[in-house]
A and B are shown apart, each in its own frame.
Chain A
Amino acid sequence: AQRVTQPEKLLSVFKGAPVELKCNYSYSGSPELFWYVQYSRQRLQLLLRHISRESIKGFTADLNKGETSFHLKKPFAQEEDSAMYYCALRSNNAGNMLTFGGGTRLMVKP
């Protein structure tokens, strides 16, 4: 069975500090991983996908198959980054649904 683990429920940093939100997964096939973000009172939205190898709003994430991790990083946090972040794994079954981690709340203090 596939599983996504985000070990930190809350991460608090000061503005300008580096940020790393951890995500570990277990999956028997070739994983496809995503990060979603939910800002206060807004709906969840896609932040980035590992296969795109893109940087969105200064965030990057690298898939490490050896460590089964997909950590989200940003070198300098901004107050507007404060939000709930979810790591998700796409299955390759009929429904191709996403399995989400428990989420990490990022608080960036001024």
Chain B
Amino acid sequence: NAGVTQTPKFRVLKTGQSMTLLCAQDMNHEYMYWYRQDPGMGLRLIHYSVGEGTTAKGEVPDGYNVSRLKKQNFLLGLESAAPSQTSVYFCASSLNKAHQRGYTFGSGTRLTVV
């Protein structure tokens, strides 16, 4: 049971380049989330999904897009990367609304935009 897997683990982009971060979970969780982690600011929600085919904006959605075509995958896209998007990105999933077991987090993707 792999839990939540994020790929890639590290990436360096040039300003203006695009990329997609993949989050995959094998726990049949309905809810999935993308957060970014910045020093002193904790984790801030970018986008989330409450089920296959659904997505919604979080606290800091600008510059990002997401898709959830399959229940187990939640993709985060950066169309034109900017230095302000340098961060550690975490994906998380949850079985249901009650978060009875809390979120399950991936190991993170460290992105640097130069």
Which residues of chain A are near B43, meaning CB under 8 Å? 44, 86, 100
Contacts A43-B108, A95-B31, A95-B56; A103 near B97 (Cβ below 8 A) = no
A95-B58, A96-B99 provided; 6 other pairs, C-beta below 8 A?
Answer: A34-B102, A44-B105, A95-B31, A95-B50, A100-B42, A102-B40
Q: How far is the CB of B34 from chain A (nearest CB, A)?
A: 11
Contacts A46-B103, A49-B102; A97 near B45 (Cβ below 8 A) = yes
Interface residues of B in 93-114 (CB under 8 A from A): 94, 97-99, 101-103, 105-108
Q: How far is the CB of B87 from chain A (nearest CB, A)?
A: 14
Question: Per-residue 0/1 for A89-106: is the Cβ within 8 Å of any B Cβ (1 yes, 0 no)?
Answer: 010001111111111000
Question: Per-residue 0/1 for B81-97: is the Cβ within 8 Å of any A Cβ (1 yes, 0 no)?
Answer: 00000000010101001
Which residues of chain A are near B40, meaning CB under 8 Å? 9, 102-103
Please give the residue numbers on chain B whose beta carbons come within 8 Å of chain A beta carbons, in ascending order: 4, 31, 33, 35, 40-45, 48, 50, 56, 58, 90, 92, 94, 97-99, 101-103, 105-108
Which residues of chain A are near B33, meaning CB under 8 Å? 95, 97
